[in-house]
Structure 1
Amino acid sequence: MDWLSFTVFLVFFAFTAFLAWRKTRRHKIKTVSSLFLANRSLNFIMIGGALLFSNINTATIIGENELVYTNNMSVMAWGLTSVLAMLVVSELFMPIYLKTGITTTPDYLEARYDKSTKTIVTVIFLVSYVVNLLPSVLYTGAVAFNGLFKLSDVWHLDYWASLWIIIWLMGLAGCLYAVLGGIRAIAISDTLLGIGIFIGGIALPYFGFRYLGHGDWHQGLEKVLTAKTGHLNSIGGKNDAVPFSTLFTGMLLMNLYYWGTEQYIVQQVLASKDLATCQKGIAVACFGKILSILMLNVPGLIAVHLLSGLDNTASVFPALIRLTSPPYLIGYLAAIVFGASLTTFNAGINSASTLFTLNIYKPWREKKGPSFTERDLLRVAKRFELLACFCAVMIAPFIFFAKDGFYNYIQRVNGFFSLPIFTIILIGFLTKRVPPIAAKAGLLFFTFSYAILETVWPLKIHFLHLLAILFIITCVIMLIIGRIKPLTVPYRQELANLVPIHPWKHRYVFSIILILLMLGIFFLFSPLGLAKA
């Protein structure tokens, strides 16, 4: 272990934690609103930072660089098309959520359909977080941390045993952070780390190009742009990890789900002080997603020219850092990677607790009759965070055995939970008479069909296309049920907004700029740009 690197890591991480504590110590957590929504008081910088760094975690850093290394730049479509999805969500979804005054996305489903639909979706969210989201960010954080400091060699343990130890340490740190600080501390840390990741996003490619060019970063950059140019292509073919055609089918739907209905993402936005602040924060996050290519994809391009024959391709990012970076940068990037894991983990823990406490425990206690206090809810919320953390750290090490690349594993598993929820929410937005039974039938059909076609009878079709096909079929089924057995009284949205809902007047100008930047980057990394044969 390089002790200088480790010292830099400790100093930077402690500094970030200290600043978060300084900014939150005057805001005591006395209610569930302060724990889950920071009393709806966050500004647009905090919203943008929380959105971005809740999304950019070690799963994306490790997974996307791995796919660039093994395939090409087509994987960057996940991040770039998020820009379009976020703009749609900003304009169409968030006004509805803020007008109705919801705390969780299943709250909308209760208003639109019924309580049982809300409960079912809450359970799906909780399973998704405990089985997929929380374990995946812990696993990738452990992979990166072990790769940077070679802890398995320091401890004289095998790789898998080392992952167990690191995952437990990360889980403990993250859970304490979420329990003690709430969503305000998470948002502040996200903002600080968001700034840090862009500094690292510039520094790491610079040192990578410099190492590749034997001290001259210009030569290193020229080598990346002129040799093995197939890796520069973002327009994926049918055999690539992300075929370009999927951008217009399942990927678009997955991104709309993620930014518009995923609880741990939406909860960051619901904490904003008004709609205009929410929309500004989303625009900040969009700019961040465009710049994040420097950290998520460019290191994988450099690694193509420097690393070969890796036994575990998921280790390409930490391996590149150790090879090309000076000790102080290794420690700095280790703090960024560690923080990336914890911020998403913390947000997931916080949102899982929100869902359980408000959507399951609170209604159950209300049925029992005896009164309960905010203090009782806070105690239950924090206990559930501890339980979810324990489950996550027990599952995370077994992701080591996932096949076909870690990032593909995450997206495939997400399909079980994401699009069924998005489908019934979208139909709820667009119709007034589709009944609750249609929502339940849609959830059952979509989930069961996807499970069968992905495991028992796999089709020779990309899973994103499969998701799009099932989405269309499910929508048709719900509309047919709505025609046969419509609601007697059409759904009418009831306003219960708790914050001002005046939109941001400059949102269209910034939307056009962001879309042009997105299209320009696709053009740059294409056969018409840098990826010329």
Structure 2
Amino acid sequence: MLLTIIEFVGFTVLVAVLSWYKTKDEDLSSKEGYFLAGRGLPGIVIAGSLMMTNLSAEQLVGTNGQAFSGSMSTMAWEATSGFALLVLAFVILPRFLKGGIATIPQFYQMRYDTFTMRMFSCMFLVAYVVTMLPTILYSGSVALVKIFNIEEIFGISYFWAILIVCFSTGIIGMAYSVFGGLKAVAYSDTINGVGLIIGGFAVPILGIFALGKLGGGSGSFGEGLHYLLTTTPEKMNAWAEPTSVAPYVPWPLLFTGMFVNNMFYWATNQSIIQRSLGGKNLAEAQKGAIWAGFFKCLDVLVIVLPGIIAYQLLTAQGAIDTSVGSAGDQAYPLLVLEVMPPAIMGFFAAVMFGAILSSFNSVLNSSSTIFALDIWQPIWGKNADAEKTVKIGKYFGLIVGVVAIFISPFVMYFGTGIMNFINECWGFFSMPILLAVLFGLLSKKVSPIAPKITVPVHIVIYGATKVIPFCQKWHYLYWVFFCFVVEAIIYLICIKVCPRKTDWEMPDAKVMDMSAWKTGRLWAAVGVAVIVVMYIVCSPLVLGA
């Protein structure tokens, strides 16, 4: 345990020092310097930050938990994200970067009106504070409490162990985000990403070796791989039945609900898109988005496959009770404890900690950005200088972080898997946000009345699907897509009945070089081919059953 603690502290301090060194000379008093990293991020840093913002403990614990309880159909959350990132690269970014957009709500004000901007700003902030930030802290704590055996060491209950880790993680995350700005977040993301690649890929590799020992095997990688691919072929099938419910992902959703849900998350979610808006030019921003699509395919090996390995290994050993509702969320930490050598456990814990910080401080930075630029400054700070605006953003970040810390331990009582909880909660906000961006960019005629109608309509329809018994028999993403279709029709009706009096055009802010990535479309085609091959391999034609 002493070695684990030394490794953990050493790697964590190393990341902090390197992030400080890379950003110590940055001007964080300006809005662009603090909130958008001075619009100077290269493509590889954008891709790394996109990945680490998304790839946190709630993914490692929650998505692997879904695979444990379901099948490889869970990989839809990862692999098919590449399609949404292409939409970001070729549809959203050229228009947003041309207009010098800093936040999604800022675009809403530019395209619609102030009321629309504030309405969506509040929706983002509620989703971040109530759903994302507490869940990020809680899911990471689930893993770290197990790794460091905090309950037994301190002789405390599970709740207090979770609370201690949530508090510690939240405080450090606030320090990164509030005092370092987006650039510190982005560089710490990239450094942690290197560690996560090493530690994250080590878990399934070591897990396969462990599978090789089952049934009297010698423990070779080949024996373990054969056991993985042949013992439970139904787990290797990514094409779930159309009537399947979560954690399975029915195959029709790949072309409907999952597609529009991923477009919302990767192309219009402020905490994600903010990295791309900080690109030094359009080409680098597009590189970041497209490269992130490739990395999402590799994610399957880190945050889906270990769930399948955990199912085979832990159930064979009788180390987990699959009848318990929370068994899935316990699977990944238990697998890590089972296969990770004690000599490198501290390093892996530090990588896990970095992943938690990455998502937490990224969302916190986005919350500060939205509040400072889209709510406080237009209402109370019209004459405030940039330094004052940044200071207000920091204060708000501190408040939000403290609130999230106190909410986070209670996530354990929400009665559902971590990822299901997050995704179902986002369902209350996702489609109105997505449609307002898509129609705002692609239509010159849509007027501000459309988003004002769709928001309450969406909340009523989606909320009804949570209480009507018939609706609960179907995967919730079917209803997300149903909302998308209904609300798109509302937009089309509004364009026909009450269009804008004058056509709207995105202004040219001339903030950067807008030349597109020359080979971007070629790499996009390669990315699509990779996704198609993955689904062929994980089908009844090859590995699935």
Pick the TM interval, shorter chain: over 0.9
User: Root-mean-square deviation (CA), in Å?
Assistant: 1.4
2:385 to 360, 366, 373: 373
* TM-score for both structures, normalised by structure 1: 0.96
Contact 1:78/1:251, CA 8 A, preserved across alignment: yes
Instruction: Tell me the equivalent position of 2:457.
Output: 445
- Which amino acid letter does the alignment assign opposite residue 3 of structure 2? L
Tell me how far apart the structure 1 counterparts of residues 272 and 278 of structure 2 sit (CA, whole Å).
11
Tell me how far apart the structure 2 counterparts of residues 497 and 59 of structure 1 sit (CA, whole Å).
38
Q: State the shift of 1:55 in Å.
A: 0.9
Greater mean deviation of Cα atoms: 488-497 or 133-142: 488-497
* 2:270 is the counterpart of 1:263: yes
Q: State the shift of 1:117 in Å.
A: 0.5
Q: State the shift of 1:328 in Å.
A: 2.7
SS at match of 1:466: helix
Tell me how far apart the structure 2 counterparts of residues 60 and 103 of structure 1 sit (CA, whole Å).
27
Q: Map of 1:444-483 to 2, 5 A cutoff? A: 444-455=456-467, 459=471, 460-483=473-496
Q: State the shift of 1:434 in Å.
A: 1.9
Q: State the shift of 1:257 in Å.
A: 0.8
In the alignment, structure 2 segments of 5+ residues that lack a partner are 214-218
Instruction: Tell me the equivalent position of 1:348.
Output: 363
- What per-residue deviation string (whole Å, max 9, x for no partner) do you get for residues 252-306 of structure 1? 0011111111001111011100000001111221121111222101211211122
Tell me how far apart the structure 1 counterparts of residues 153 and 445 of structure 2 sit (CA, whole Å).
63
- Which amino acid letter does the alignment assign opposite residue 465 of structure 2? L
Q: State the shift of 1:78 in Å.
A: 0.7
1:432 to 434, 437, 444: 444
Tell me how far apart the structure 2 counterparts of residues 242 and 211 of structure 1 sit (CA, whole Å).
28
Instruction: Tell me the equivalent position of 2:216.
Output: none
- What per-residue deviation string (whole Å, max 9, x for no partner) do you get for residues 467-486 of structure 1? 11111111112221232222
Contact 1:201/1:292, CA 8 A, preserved across alignment: no
Q: State the shift of 1:388 in Å.
A: 0.6
Contact 1:198/1:291, CA 8 A, preserved across alignment: no
Tell me how far apart the structure 2 counterparts of residues 153 and 147 of structure 1 sit (CA, whole Å).
10
Instruction: Tell me the equivalent position of 1:485.
Output: 498
- Which amino acid letter does the alignment assign opposite residue 230 of structure 2? T
- Which amino acid letter does the alignment assign opposite residue 399 of structure 1? V
Instruction: Tell me the equivalent position of 2:412.
Output: 400
Q: Map of 1:63-82 to 2, 5 A cutoff? A: 63-82=62-81
Contact 2:27/2:34, CA 8 A, preserved across alignment: no
* 2:513 is the counterpart of 1:500: yes
- Which amino acid letter does the alignment assign opposite residue 124 of structure 1? M
2:229 to 221, 225, 228: 225
Q: State the shift of 1:334 in Å.
A: 1.1
Q: Map of 1:381-400 to 2, 5 A cutoff? A: 381-400=393-412
* 2:288 is the counterpart of 1:281: yes
Instruction: Tell me the equivalent position of 2:83.
Output: 84
Greater mean deviation of Cα atoms: 211-220 or 165-174: 211-220
Contact 2:94/2:514, CA 8 A, preserved across alignment: yes
Contact 2:381/2:389, CA 8 A, preserved across alignment: no
Instruction: Tell me the equivalent position of 2:254.
Output: 247
Q: State the shift of 1:167 in Å.
A: 0.6
- What per-residue deviation string (whole Å, max 9, x for no partner) do you get for residues 407-466 of structure 1? 111111110111111112212223222211121001121122211222366613221111
Tell me how far apart the structure 2 counterparts of residues 268 and 458 of structure 1 sit (CA, whole Å).
40
Contact 1:352/1:385, CA 8 A, preserved across alignment: yes
Tell me how far apart the structure 2 counterparts of residues 520 and 81 of structure 1 sit (CA, whole Å).
12
* 2:153 is the counterpart of 1:154: yes
- What per-residue deviation string (whole Å, max 9, x for no partner) do you get for residues 227-271 of structure 1? 011111111122252111111111100111111110011110111
Contact 1:420/1:447, CA 8 A, preserved across alignment: no
Instruction: Tell me the equivalent position of 2:334.
Output: 319
- What per-residue deviation string (whole Å, max 9, x for no partner) do you get for residues 289-338 of structure 1? 11122210121121112213345421111111111111133222211111
Contact 1:135/1:393, CA 8 A, preserved across alignment: yes
Tell me how far apart the structure 1 counterparts of residues 487 and 312 of structure 2 sit (CA, whole Å).
45
Instruction: Tell me the equivalent position of 1:338.
Output: 353
Instruction: Tell me the equivalent position of 2:314.
Output: 307
1:361 to 365, 369, 376: 376
Greater mean deviation of Cα atoms: 212-221 or 356-365: 212-221
Contact 2:311/2:331, CA 8 A, preserved across alignment: no
Aligned residues between the structures: 528
Contact 2:284/2:517, CA 8 A, preserved across alignment: yes
Q: Map of 1:411-426 to 2, 5 A cutoff? A: 411-426=423-438
* 2:193 is the counterpart of 1:188: no
Q: Map of 1:99-178 to 2, 5 A cutoff? A: 99-178=98-177
- Which amino acid letter does the alignment assign opposite residue 228 of structure 1? T
SS at match of 1:416: coil
- Which amino acid letter does the alignment assign opposite residue 273 of structure 1? K
Tell me how far apart the structure 2 counterparts of residues 355 and 456 of structure 1 sit (CA, whole Å).
35
SS at match of 1:307: helix
Contact 2:210/2:313, CA 8 A, preserved across alignment: no
SS at match of 1:93: helix
Contact 1:137/1:341, CA 8 A, preserved across alignment: yes
* TM-score for both structures, normalised by structure 2: 0.94
